Amino acid sequence: MRLLKIALVVAGLCAATAFASPTAPRNGAEYTTLKNPQPVQAQGKKVEVIEFFMYHCPACYALEPAMLEWVKKQGDNISFRRIHLPLTGENDPEAHMFLTLEAMKLEEQLHAKLLYTWHVERKRLKSDADNIDWAVKAGIDKEKFTATYNSFAVMTRLKGAGRVAATYEVNSTPTMIVGGRYLTNPTMVDASNPGIPRPQLGAATLQVLDALVVQARGK
């Protein structure tokens, strides 16, 4: 009888493990559904995908190449944008830099360069002075950058950045929001699929995104 019970337990565990899969993500495991779905900016049939990130975040940097390839592969299926999580609150210098470059329509152009500064050159941009110095060295007009950096529009968005993150129930990075409704991140995927090798975690996370994009389109 005892051997039968053990066999049943093992079988149950095997079944649970087999059922856990990034290609068939489960609500409450590989992803969660937001309590309050948010409006999207995507037009037409495109599904909006938002990546919450931070410039200094090692996991964001590790995911970046695969994420860019995934976005390219998705093509017109999605509308992709980033939001910087304000780690230190209303005066977070990283979020301030992001919002300034976004307002100047330079964020996409300089995103890779900023990540290189943080993770390859190991230079920490932790103050307004650091940000301004970096921008000037990157070839941005100092007067225009400073004017935008200190503008009412950017400062207002910076002060509200924490509320935006809370609205999407985001408290870590990288975290992705699909269709204004579904939240996932590598930590959730890893916890729900403990057998995934660490080097394959990024690919598994993107498999979850694949499934969520299809799911969001069906809503």
Q: How many domains does the chain have?
A: 1
- Asked whether residue 190 is assigned to any structural domain, the reply reads no
Give Cβ neighbours of residue 84 (< 8 Å, ≥ 6 apart): 52, 53, 54, 55, 92, 94, 95, 98, 99, 161
Q: Residue 97 is part of which domain span? A: 31-184
pLDDT at 199: 86
pLDDT at 17: 40
Beta strand 47-53 pairing with 78-84: parallel
pLDDT at 18: 42
- Asked whether residue 72 is assigned to any structural domain, the reply reads yes
pLDDT at 26: 96
Residue ranges of the chain with pLDDT lower than 50? Answer: 1-18
pLDDT at 20: 57
- Asked whether residue 90 is assigned to any structural domain, the reply reads yes
Whole-structure pTM value: 0.88
- Asked whether residue 111 is assigned to any structural domain, the reply reads yes
- Asked whether residue 7 is assigned to any structural domain, the reply reads no
- Asked whether residue 189 is assigned to any structural domain, the reply reads no
- Asked whether residue 8 is assigned to any structural domain, the reply reads no
Q: The domain that contains 127 carries what CATH number? A: 3.40.30.10
Residues 63-82: tens digit of each pLDDT: 999 999 999 999 999 999 99
Gap between the Cα atoms of 31 and 33, Å rounded: 7
- Asked whether residue 121 is assigned to any structural domain, the reply reads yes
pLDDT at 16: 38
Q: 76-105 burial, b for 16+ CB within 10 Å, e for fewer? A: eebbbebbbbbbeeeebbbbbbbbbbbebe
Instruction: Tell me the one-letter amino acid at 105.
Output: K
